[in-house]
Structure 1
Amino acid sequence: MNDIEERLNFRSDLLEDSKDEDGFIVQSNLLSQVLPSMLDAKLIDSEDFNDSYFHDQSNGQKLNAYNISNSGERLQLFIIDESTIDETSNTEELLILQKADYDNQFKRVEKLIKKAFNSQLFNSIQDSDKAKVLASKLESLEGFNEIDVIEIFLISLTVAISNQGKTTQPRSIYFQEEKCNRAFKSKEEAKKKEVLILKKLIDLNFLFNVMVSKGYREVLTIDFEKTFNYGLEAIKAAENESFVSYLCVLKADIIADLYRQYSSRLLEKNVRSFLDFRGVNKGIKETIRKEPEKFIAYNNGLTITATDIKTFENKHKLYIASLTDFQIVNGGQTTATIYFSKKDGLDVSKVYVMAKINVAKQTNEKDLEQLIDNISKYSNAQSKVSNVDLKSRNSQLLKIKKLSESILTPKSRKWFFERSKGEFNTLLRKERSNKNKILKDFPSERRFTKEQLGKYYCAWGEEPYLVKKGGERIFRNFIEHLSPDEDNGKKPPTIDRDYYEALIAKVILFKEMELIYGTRNSAIGQIRSAVIPYSLSVLYIYTDTHKNYFNFQKIWKDEGVDENLSVFLWNLMKLVNALIKKYSLSDDLGEYSKRIELWNSIKHCQEIDFFMSEDKNKILMSKYIIQDKRG
């Protein structure tokens, strides 16, 4: 099977998994399939998205969804080229030679942005349209101040190809960044700023690479000469068989520009999942404000890893031209704080930062990954970043995988735990002749990834706002539960049959609530990804106490929820849906539900107390609450 054919077969699998119960391909379902791969490739911070479907065919405008990065300054817009998800399309239509075909799709979103920047979008959209909230944010003073970068992701189930040479080959297509000047006028003030517009194609080449590599991430190459017209002066400090170390001094302006361009993509996974970019370090900021020339003396600097380096000499001095596979493994807070300090108007021109750059030599991928992990681990040894392993090789995850392969449900079925990225699709590729049997044995409702498992598990707790954020932060919480720091007296859970059954019961409960909440016209509302974790957290605090615990064994034995519990959950989610609207201090419900303030307003409000104290609900809950005899 050739490369093109493999990608087109993968497309068929994606479309099949994006269908609703009536067999229709749903664009939001496709987004849910695609975004986890983009998260794995470090392009986004979370697989969560705010559905903002808008399609004005007459004016050539379209948008599917948006998200705001954890750092807050980056708006990410998603558009699906609907012509590429037609199952009747032939191969010729899906092979794209011309970059212009993709440019035309990007323009559909760019027209919306331009309209918003001219304060013409909000009033042109009906109140019932999902894009109304986004239009309001874009045209507001808050949106003007916050958003410095807009990334447009075009999801196109096509294959970008090149016909150079004897055969047709898949190829990558890149798009030039653009800078857009915008103004904001009010009665009080007039402001101007420059917004960076970035465009990224998410086609079958990209998605297939993520799947087959079981965790593909695009290697980030920083070309200091080309991008910044800036050769980075350095000295070679050490060299051995594993790596070469360089020492250099970075201008703060360069660091700020790097962060603006690449955001959290600069940061190694452990660091990225730990840091809260919304809260900048006050000490660092005060040094920039009062003693910028002393910053280099006060700050620990950056530790950077790379896998390749290009250097040149000029007047007997060594300069770094570019670094390949650039990752900041220590100094993420410094990097973010410099960016936000400059954004707030502080002068960073006198600020310089020490940097240690370790360029790994190994060609073996496993050894290389281990080396970079160790550099990250020991670079952060004195900081508060805990050294959890966020990868699929975690020993506790391996135990869960083995149990999933051996334990049958009460109805003699198994669940498929995708411990490594793309594991299920790899199985389908290897067993193409048995594809139908595999899909029958493991339909989408009985499959879950390690990231989904983290979300399902952590939803049963008191941090629904973190579950709503998704991404590596919530997965870190799950891994820290599986593999806690034993030096602090915490013991890891015993991963046995009982643990596995309770885990699957939590997966079942979450997935059942997604079905109960509904989609499109039958949905309770438009904020399902917030309502479900919030509702589960409400259920948790009212049933899992020091005296009692919830009976997940009943859900495991039933392999679902019974009719009475289903009605209860529907009523609870309907109430929580209304409460999120009531207590949110922003019209952007999807984003505000990521804040602890909303959860604090809801968890013990009178409406929840009244609902949970109703006789019918107390009677139902009594069937699912077991008296705690564990101690």
Structure 2
Amino acid sequence: MEHLFEFNTDLLEELRGESSSTGVALDDLAFERLSSTLEGEAEIETSDRCAWRGVVSGKTLRIDGHGGDPRETDGILSVIITEFFDTDQPPSLNAADAKKFFGHLINFVAAARRQEFRDSLHVDTPAFGTATMIAEAWPAVTKVKLIFVTNGVYNARTDAVLAGKIGDIPVTYNIWDLSRFHRVETTGSKEKIVVKFAEEFGGSLPALSASGPETQFPSYLAVIRGSQLAEIFDKWGARLLESNIRSFIQARRKSVNEGIRDTIKNEPEMFFSYNNGLSATADSVETEADGTGVRILTARNLQIVNGGQTTASLHAALKHSPENLSNVHVQIKLTVVPPDNSEEVVPFISKYANSQNKVSAADFFSNHPFHMRMEGYSRRVYAPPAQGGSRQTRWFYERARGQYQVERAKLGTTDRRRFDAEHPKPQLFVKTDLAKVELSFRKKPDTVSKGAQKNFATFAADIGEAWTASDKKYDETWFKRLVAKIIIFRALEKAIPRQEWYPGGYRANIVTHGIAKLVHDVDERDKVLDLDRIWNEQSVPAGLMDCFLTACEAAADVITDPDSGIRNITEWAKKQACWARVSRLEVDYGGGLDEYLIAPEEAKAAVRDGRREEAMVSGIEAQAKVIELGGAFWGRLREWAAPNRSFSLKDDGILKACSQQDRRLPSEKQCILAVEILGRARDEGYVDDEETPRIKISGGGRVH
């Protein structure tokens, strides 16, 4: 419980500090902060703020946000109510408390469907837009998810519990309390889905063991009824697919989906023959022998790594062809992979199961070389001291949730203070931060506005394809310029709420559109932003900040003035038409913008300079480096590289020679090759926690 209270204290300090510096209300920041975790856990696809409460016909109505338009989220209407306590001692909550909050939320959903209630709302408010969206999308709704978000402590585990129906539409409720947030954010462990086939979904799965008794990862060939699979997906949705970000970025091939749909509708008994089935993993399974094989009773942390389209199509059939699902059968290749091995093994299972796709989401797991390389830079590269400071710090990239807290928790009090000083919490960023910042600068603000999951999907597809073509551009300079973009993005998040023109909401949409607008206008001048200057200063120059705010003000005017026929501002910001209007605006930046721009050739020259600094060293320098790092270092690298297919037996021999340098000094040629192997290993994410960090300070303008 002590760790829970400490987590709450840290959360409050973070939000209070941001509220003080931006002027944004604590409740708004809490919603944004906690909803981002829900997005990361695939509980919702996006999170749109809509704070409204009132009394209608003697009933209390309340809503704090929603998870997007059901017409864009597979028919799921997710509505959110948030109760955030500004107290260091988090209160306990019980079932009666939860029932009250869910009741207020249901009352809003019911009222939103009535014209007289919508007419009572001001047309320019988020509440009007949300109510209108609910009413217009209602024919497409297949499930209503009630989500209660709080930093109170709830006394039971509540996850996707069926709470009745509205008409014929099922309603589930889900509680995210302080304990749940703490578990997800500090341990790095995903929320575990425990599928009890026998107890909750109509029967166990008939299966055959497809592996020997001594195998490290037991495998089964199983068969599941279409109705079972659809009901399981109906309960947990995209969380069944979260081990594979593929669920968000795979191409929606219309012909395939239509084929699956037509088979369900017209030939359900042939589905098993026509469909390739699913590939899935689980942390563990519970089975029983049945004479001819086994029956799978329970699967812990079931994840579908190939077959997302099949699963989603079967789920859709719950609405249009439910009577046929009992005649549909689907094969499953299920592999049991313990949690300690999942990050290493599951991506390969998914990758090879999806090998027909040139660029598949499976290629963009958290241990994809891109993420590993960014993590490597974030652990090695020191940022220059910020203005007024003297300490160099690092920007901590969290490629897997919870890494920051896990690393910090390993340390004693003194080492933890040093860690905090070298890795300030405001300099922590995660994959979804990287994606929204990068795509804002790539002039895709409509995509960024669609939420973390869809935005990351687009980012993953773009980077995955580019990486396959060539990974050379993603070097140390690219990392530094990424950090410069993050510095700009976060500075705008703080500055915008304090501007006189700020409309009081839609901050995220304004930031991304404003950045995209300025970059667009800079491109029109055949220039680029001098991001290296921002890296070196670790801040945004005042003159450049004024230019960004000018662009953001222009963007805000468009965002709050939707095209005719669009009444939901948040949905308007997600449309290409909104960005098209912003991009066409004539914006006067005054005469100060040119000071912060450079020619593209100059930016490319800086990249070449950076690569030369990282280029292969001479034989004498290589030998000096090998000796300086020591035999133990090369031994650790050899141990890391041994199971990695990217490293050959020759590489192993080189590393062995370097690890045994106390017996015999390796040759210059061996040392050159060893340094090259080290470079390749670092590109794949190798980090040696016992190595002294590299600090390079050059004269002139750049600090590396």
Q: Does 1:106 align with 2:110?
A: no
Q: Partners of 2:308 and 2:472 in 1: how far apart?
A: 29
Q: Does 1:274 align with 2:249?
A: yes
1:188 maps to what in 2?
Answer: none
1:12 maps to what in 2?
Answer: 9
From the superposition, tell whether residues 118 and 544 of structure 1 become closer, same or farther in structure 2 (CA, over 3 Å). closer
Aligned mate of 2:149, from 152, 155, 165: 155
Q: What secondary structure does 1:511 align onto?
A: helix
Aligned mate of 2:445, from 455, 464, 477: 464
Q: CA deviation at 1:443?
A: 6.0
Q: Partners of 1:485 and 1:21 in 2: how far apart?
A: 41
Gaps of 5+ in 1: 162-170, 183-193
Q: What secondary structure does 1:246 align onto?
A: strand
From the superposition, tell whether residues 627 and 149 of structure 1 become closer, same or farther in structure 2 (CA, over 3 Å). same
From the superposition, tell whether residues 587 and 220 of structure 1 become closer, same or farther in structure 2 (CA, over 3 Å). same
Q: What secondary structure does 1:469 align onto?
A: coil
1:421 maps to what in 2?
Answer: 401
Q: What secondary structure does 1:177 align onto?
A: strand
1:186 maps to what in 2?
Answer: none
1:228 is matched by which residue type in structure 2? F
1:51 is matched by which residue type in structure 2? R
User: Where in structure 2 are the equivalents of 1:18-417 lying within 5 Å?
Assistant: 18-19=15-16, 20-21=19-20, 26-46=26-46, 49-56=47-54, 59-68=59-68, 71-82=73-84, 84-87=85-88, 90=89, 94-96=91-93, 98-117=94-113, 121-127=117-123, 129-140=125-136, 143-161=137-155, 172-173=157-158, 176-182=161-167, 194-214=168-188, 216-240=189-213, 241-267=215-241, 268-275=243-250, 281-312=257-288, 318-344=294-320, 348-349=324-325, 352-360=328-336, 362=338, 365-384=339-358, 385-391=360-366, 394-405=371-382, 407-409=384-386, 411-412=389-390, 413-417=392-396
Q: CA deviation at 1:38?
A: 2.5
Q: Partners of 1:25 and 1:427 in 2: how far apart?
A: 31
2:455 maps to what in 1?
Answer: 474
Q: Partners of 2:35 and 2:407 in 1: how far apart?
A: 21
2:401 is matched by which residue type in structure 1? K
8 Å CA contact retained: 1:210, 1:217? yes
1:198 is matched by which residue type in structure 2? T
| Structure having the larger proportion of residues in helix | 2
2:567 maps to what in 1?
Answer: 587
Gaps of 5+ in 2: 606-704
Q: Partners of 2:62 and 2:253 in 1: how far apart?
A: 30
2:166 is matched by which residue type in structure 1? N
Q: CA deviation at 1:380?
A: 1.0
From the superposition, tell whether residues 42 and 139 of structure 1 become closer, same or farther in structure 2 (CA, over 3 Å). closer
From the superposition, tell whether residues 203 and 582 of structure 1 become closer, same or farther in structure 2 (CA, over 3 Å). closer
Q: CA deviation at 1:482?
A: 6.3
1:512 maps to what in 2?
Answer: 491
For residues 442-465 of structure 1, the C-alpha deviation after alignment (integer angstroms, 9 at most, x for no partner) is 666444333212221221103222
From the superposition, tell whether residues 11 and 316 of structure 1 become closer, same or farther in structure 2 (CA, over 3 Å). same
1:73 is matched by which residue type in structure 2? G
1:299 is matched by which residue type in structure 2? N
> 462-471 vs 372-381, which deviates more?
462-471
Q: What secondary structure does 2:222 align onto?
A: strand
From the superposition, tell whether residues 356 and 546 of structure 1 become closer, same or farther in structure 2 (CA, over 3 Å). farther
1:7 is matched by which residue type in structure 2? L
1:166 maps to what in 2?
Answer: none
Q: CA deviation at 1:208?
A: 1.2
From the superposition, tell whether residues 345 and 529 of structure 1 become closer, same or farther in structure 2 (CA, over 3 Å). farther
Length, aligned pairs only: 585
Q: CA deviation at 1:67?
A: 1.5
Q: Partners of 1:535 and 1:38 in 2: how far apart?
A: 26
User: Where in structure 2 are the equivalents of 1:557-572 lying within 5 Å?
Assistant: 557-572=536-551
TM-score, normalization by structure 2:
0.74
1:195 is matched by which residue type in structure 2? I
1:300 is matched by which residue type in structure 2? N
2:567 is matched by which residue type in structure 1? D
| Structure number with bigger Rg | 2
From the superposition, tell whether residues 149 and 120 of structure 1 become closer, same or farther in structure 2 (CA, over 3 Å). farther
Q: Partners of 1:259 and 1:519 in 2: how far apart?
A: 44
8 Å CA contact retained: 1:299, 1:353? no
Q: What secondary structure does 2:574 align onto?
A: coil
Q: What secondary structure does 1:30 align onto?
A: helix
From the superposition, tell whether residues 372 and 276 of structure 1 become closer, same or farther in structure 2 (CA, over 3 Å). same
Q: Partners of 1:367 and 1:86 in 2: how far apart?
A: 39
For residues 158-183 of structure 1, the C-alpha deviation after alignment (integer angstroms, 9 at most, x for no partner) is 2335xxxxxxxxx634573123233x
From the superposition, tell whether residues 405 and 554 of structure 1 become closer, same or farther in structure 2 (CA, over 3 Å). closer
From the superposition, tell whether residues 309 and 61 of structure 1 become closer, same or farther in structure 2 (CA, over 3 Å). same
8 Å CA contact retained: 2:281, 2:303? yes
Identity %: 19
Q: CA deviation at 1:527?
A: 1.9
8 Å CA contact retained: 2:198, 2:298? yes
8 Å CA contact retained: 2:209, 2:221? yes
8 Å CA contact retained: 1:54, 1:129? no
1:489 is matched by which residue type in structure 2? A
Q: CA deviation at 1:516?
A: 3.2
From the superposition, tell whether residues 489 and 302 of structure 1 become closer, same or farther in structure 2 (CA, over 3 Å). same
For residues 218-271 of structure 1, the C-alpha deviation after alignment (integer angstroms, 9 at most, x for no partner) is 111222233332333333343451233333333333333233222111113232
> 405-414 vs 217-226, which deviates more?
405-414
From the superposition, tell whether residues 585 and 527 of structure 1 become closer, same or farther in structure 2 (CA, over 3 Å). farther
Q: Partners of 2:36 and 2:576 in 1: how far apart?
A: 24
Q: What secondary structure does 2:592 align onto?
A: helix
Q: Does 1:530 align with 2:514?
A: no
**RMSD between superposed Cα atoms in Å:** 3.5
Q: Partners of 2:412 and 2:119 in 1: how far apart?
A: 53
Q: Partners of 2:474 and 2:216 in 1: how far apart?
A: 37
Q: Does 1:490 align with 2:467?
A: no
Q: What secondary structure does 1:526 align onto?
A: coil
TM-score, normalization by structure 1:
0.82
8 Å CA contact retained: 1:403, 1:500? no
Q: Partners of 2:516 and 2:460 in 1: how far apart?
A: 19
Q: Partners of 2:198 and 2:286 in 1: how far apart?
A: 10
1:623 maps to what in 2?
Answer: 595
8 Å CA contact retained: 1:53, 1:63? yes
Q: Partners of 1:231 and 1:195 in 2: how far apart?
A: 27
Q: Partners of 2:327 and 2:521 in 1: how far apart?
A: 52
From the superposition, tell whether residues 427 and 479 of structure 1 become closer, same or farther in structure 2 (CA, over 3 Å). same
1:625 is matched by which residue type in structure 2? L
Q: Partners of 2:491 and 2:153 in 1: how far apart?
A: 35
Q: CA deviation at 1:368?
A: 3.7
Q: Partners of 1:573 and 1:396 in 2: how far apart?
A: 33
Q: CA deviation at 1:522?
A: 6.6
Q: CA deviation at 1:53?
A: 0.4
Aligned mate of 1:455, from 436, 439, 444: 436
